[in-house]
Structure 1
Amino acid sequence: MAGILLVEDDPSVRTGLELALARQGHSVTGYATGEEALDHIRARRPEIVILDVMLPGIDGVEVCRRIRKLDSLPIILLTARGDDLDVVVGLEAGADDYVVKPVEPRVLDARIRAVLRRLESASTDRITFGELVIDRGALKVTHNAREIHLTPTELRLLLELVRHPGQVLNRRYLLRAVWDHTHVADSRLVDACVQRIRAKIEPVPAEPIFIHTVRGFGYRFSPP
């Protein structure tokens, strides 16, 4: 189904996930360190990365940052229960989703499939908002004729907001539409992703002109 790079330093957890994901039809390559994973990505690009936050040497958050400098491929974090700070920092570093350990393989498989679905094009429309151009067919975004590199999740969220210009979309709706999540506590996924998109498409991210926050409700795409 998918070529997965799994980065997990616990050999028993890594082997268990490799076997479970292989039974779901995935091709899995496992490593124990971030350094090995980065070397693998440079040599042979996977379709998705499953990345433990707590790694020896370079930790998972730093690995995530380094991957984002190389590529926009999807990243799912594996986090210990209750490590909210790790989750937030990891999402801000560019992760697309997270799963709390101990990991239920069926849950992880569902998250993998959901993330990969975001790679699919929904239509062939080319949408223009001033200097911001979104080509849904080519999955390409440009601003002032400069290509903006978005991850699949960032692109999916931006497209969802663009589909409803001028409307306020609450976090619960966006979680369902973009991440296939229903747990409202995961709303930080939305907030972190919006911050990353703003950093890429807004002339001044602290004073957004495209994606506006409506406090207590959610976000509204209101191009100038």
Structure 2
Amino acid sequence: MNTILVVDDDAHIRKLMRLYLEDSQFTVIEAADGKEALDILSRVNVQLAIVDVMMPHVDGIELTEDIRSFLDIPILMVTAKGESQDKVRGFQAGTDDYVVKPFDPVELILRVKALLKRYNVSSEKTVTIGSATIDIDQLIVTSNALTISLKKKECELLFMLASSPGVIFTRSQLIEKIWGYDYEGDERTVDVHIKRLREQLNPITDIAISTVRGLGYRLEVV
């Protein structure tokens, strides 16, 4: 059973989240602020954190940055209605998704399940295709004596393609899986990352990222 950490200084919000999460068979641990959350995370194995932005001591943005410095777990941020700047700061800090207060508890559960599924897909830390091995923990690709360092999103994108060789992924599918449901940029972001990946993978001659016109991209052994 997955353990969810709910971090919010409002006890009523925490109670509401606990009710719905436990009804969906999750184990719930509560923290009233970021400082208490960090203490819990240092002692307890948590699979996902739900983090409110506005909290005393350590706020949600700082907490997200701290979590990202030592843990690779999905983070769902809770923001106030209309505070778009919080969303931007949240994504910059490393959150995976967000919900806006007042939120629909059913939507919250769906987002939690989607994030866990997304992370569980990449619970295997390496995947091999052709002569190349992609290590999502170290953000590297190795092939024979060659080692190529990648940025986080580049590695996640390549890892996803390599996990299903020959399968066509649309740009919208890649955006949803790598950047999250509510990514506010456009699909050209995928094209930019694919271009960078192709340039960096050029020395590895037995794999290639192919463009399927009108559909998307796939990774193949050549």
From the superposition, tell whether residues 11 and 150 of structure 1 become closer, same or farther in structure 2 (CA, over 3 Å). Answer: same
Q: Give the 5 Å matches for 1:1-224.
A: 1-121=1-121, 125-127=127-129, 133-134=133-134, 141-143=139-141, 145=147, 155=156, 157-160=157-160, 169-170=170-171, 172-177=172-177, 181=181, 186-188=182-184, 209=200
Aligned sequence identity (%): 32
Match for 1:82: what amino acid? G
Instruction: Report how far residue 85 of structure 1 moved.
Output: 1.0
What is the rounded CA distance, in whole Å, between the counterparts of 2:130 and 2:140 in structure 1? 10
**SS of corresponding position for 1:43:** coil
How does the TM-score come out when normalised to structure 2?
0.68
Instruction: Report how far residue 209 of structure 1 moved.
Output: 4.9
CA deviation digits over 1:29-67, x for unaligned, max 9? 111100000010011120100001111121100000001
Match for 1:97: what amino acid? D
Equivalenced residues, count: 196
Instruction: Report how far residue 15 of structure 1 moved.
Output: 1.0
For structure 2, list consecutive stretches of 5 or more residues without a partner in the other structure. 202-215
Match for 1:142: what amino acid? I
Match for 2:48: what amino acid? I
How does the TM-score come out when normalised to structure 1?
0.68
**SS of corresponding position for 2:184:** helix
From the superposition, tell whether residues 175 and 81 of structure 1 become closer, same or farther in structure 2 (CA, over 3 Å). Answer: farther
- Larger gyration radius, structure 1 or structure 2: 2
Tell me, yes or no, if the aligned pair for 1:6 and 1:49 is still in contact at 8 Å.
yes
**SS of corresponding position for 2:119:** coil
Instruction: Report how far residue 161 of structure 1 moved.
Output: 5.2
Instruction: Report how far residue 103 of structure 1 moved.
Output: 2.0
Instruction: Report how far residue 23 of structure 1 moved.
Output: 1.1
Instruction: Report how far residue 105 of structure 1 moved.
Output: 1.6
**SS of corresponding position for 2:49:** strand
RMSD, aligned α-carbons? 4.3
From the superposition, tell whether residues 75 and 40 of structure 1 become closer, same or farther in structure 2 (CA, over 3 Å). Answer: same
Tell me, yes or no, if the aligned pair for 1:97 and 1:189 is still in contact at 8 Å.
no
**SS of corresponding position for 2:55:** coil
Match for 1:65: what amino acid? E
**SS of corresponding position for 1:9:** coil
What is the rounded CA distance, in whole Å, between the counterparts of 1:158 and 1:188 in structure 2? 21
Match for 2:44: what amino acid? R
Tell me, yes or no, if the aligned pair for 1:175 and 1:187 is still in contact at 8 Å.
yes
